[in-house]
Structure 1
């Protein structure tokens, strides 16, 4: 099952994507329901082709309404750690992105004044499907609703310079595009064998695979749930492969009018334009 939300920002409705990649309106099934666990239950009984088609060109939002929190694993690809000249961590490095950074998969990346080291990071997003506290690694995937592409946009000066707080460099509005859809766990197969890529202005910058994760999805869900309760609709961003702008020699960062395209095998493609805002 591929779950989407479509419509103007703040007024999105749930939908399903059928086998012909047509978005279908599921609002008759879920209505205004915001409890993500109940949304999943209701959509599981639907057949996408029985639902009305959504007109082409409708904006897609984040496939989860009201994301509670975005928990991220830093330096979780051994080859990415190497390009940043940082050691591979002995246990996961965790940080958060503010939920106000979450936006649709094709919304503009909006750069505010003073942000001149904006970087890209394609990541596998893990969407939690039920309340999760201190779950074992063996049972962790049973708590996963599905997976989505996450773009962990990062402002490196805000992240690493001055007081060096990662939260500041990760949480700007529009710095967490999610989607285009959420693919339920049963349709993804092994999350540790997914190809992923990112291009800037048509040039391939990242070309990797979830195979090179230091800590896999099941371990991350279990590990994070030791320190906080994960709620339905929470998202875990699991790290990025090499090829980020900071790792180029010399470093390369996003600038206004740049176009970014990124995708993960079976999870769809995002496309964003970089805009400077006042």
Structure 2
């Protein structure tokens, strides 16, 4: 089953697909354009992976890491489907990043790799923009690169884990203004979802609703104001987002 979170007439609802429309949890049918799409899971602790695909690391002229490069993301970075992401006026390299997101379903501590999927509630799609102008280095990810307001669209759907036969065999694609610019597969992750759950739960507790953004394959390119970026993952969904300038957010600098 796949569900969304949306705002409609001043209230927040969970919704499902129904013949091209949305069926709210109170039974009402509404158009997809009639709602404000929200992140399908309310962000709690959010982990993100840097350089988790060897082809992307090579693309950026870095060696593939021997240990996961993990950083945390604040809740203000997240926006929903069809929302706008701010591109600062001083940015020269703002790259999209199509990423599979694993959502934790229950408390996890010292989980073994072979049991890791028992702790996954489901999956969604993220587009974790990186403003590389501000990057110090990949072993100390700069907050200004990855924790900027509106720079991580997520959704539109949360898909139950039982509906995804193998999350490590999913195709990823990104389109900019309708043109395919990125294509890869989760098979090429350096550190798999089970590995990451074992790794993270080995030194801290993971809780229900925590999310792991698992990195992006090669094919990231610069985006500019006005671009429509669609990131999609096989079996999970298609996330659409538009790049906007400072003026759209009433920001002069």
Structure 2 spans left out of the alignment, 5+ residues: none
Distance across 2 between alignment mates of 1:109 and 1:131? 32
Q: Which residue of 2 aligns with 1:12?
A: 12
Contact 1:158 1:165 in 2 (8 A): no
Q: Which residue of 2 aligns with 1:254?
A: 223
Tell me, yes or no, if structure 1 residue 119 matches structure 2 residue 95: yes
Contact 2:48 2:212 in 1 (8 A): yes
The 1:9–1:95 alpha-carbon spacing in structure 2 relative to 1, beyond 3 Å, is farther
Structure 1 spans left out of the alignment, 5+ residues: 29-50, 246-252
Q: 1:9: how far off? A: 11
TM-score, normalised to structure 2, is 0.90
TM-score, normalised to structure 1, is 0.82
Tell me, yes or no, if structure 1 residue 233 matches structure 2 residue 222: no
Q: Which residue of 1 aligns with 2:39?
A: 62
Contact 2:4 2:14 in 1 (8 A): yes
Tell me, yes or no, if structure 1 residue 23 matches structure 2 residue 13: no
Runs of 4+ in 1 over 6 A off after TM superposition: none
Contact 1:72 1:97 in 2 (8 A): yes
Contact 1:180 1:269 in 2 (8 A): yes
The 1:109–1:9 alpha-carbon spacing in structure 2 relative to 1, beyond 3 Å, is farther
Distance across 1 between alignment mates of 2:9 and 2:94? 23
Show the 5 A alignment for 1:151-190.
151-160=127-136, 165-190=141-166
SS in 1 for 2:30: coil
Contact 2:126 2:153 in 1 (8 A): yes
Contact 1:96 1:167 in 2 (8 A): no
The 1:165–1:239 alpha-carbon spacing in structure 2 relative to 1, beyond 3 Å, is closer
Q: 1:118: how far off? A: 1.2
Q: 1:117: how far off? A: 2.1
Q: Which residue of 2 aligns with 1:3?
A: 3
SS in 2 for 1:169: helix
Contact 1:188 1:266 in 2 (8 A): yes
Aligned with residue 266 of structure 1, among 210, 235, 239:
235
Which is further off, 223-232 or 141-150? Answer: 223-232
Greater strand fraction, Structure 1 or Structure 2:
2
The 1:226–1:167 alpha-carbon spacing in structure 2 relative to 1, beyond 3 Å, is farther
Deviations 1:80-111 (A, max 9, x none): 11111111111211112212101102211112
Q: 1:160: how far off? A: 3.3
Distance across 2 between alignment mates of 1:68 and 1:156? 25
Deviations 1:208-252 (A, max 9, x none): 01011111111111111123222211110001010012xxxxxxx
Tell me, yes or no, if structure 1 residue 147 matches structure 2 residue 123: yes
The 1:226–1:8 alpha-carbon spacing in structure 2 relative to 1, beyond 3 Å, is farther
Distance across 2 between alignment mates of 1:124 and 1:166? 22
Deviations 1:186-224 (A, max 9, x none): 001100110110011222211001011111111111111
Q: 1:21: how far off? A: 5.0
Contact 2:21 2:31 in 1 (8 A): no
Q: 1:166: how far off? A: 3.1
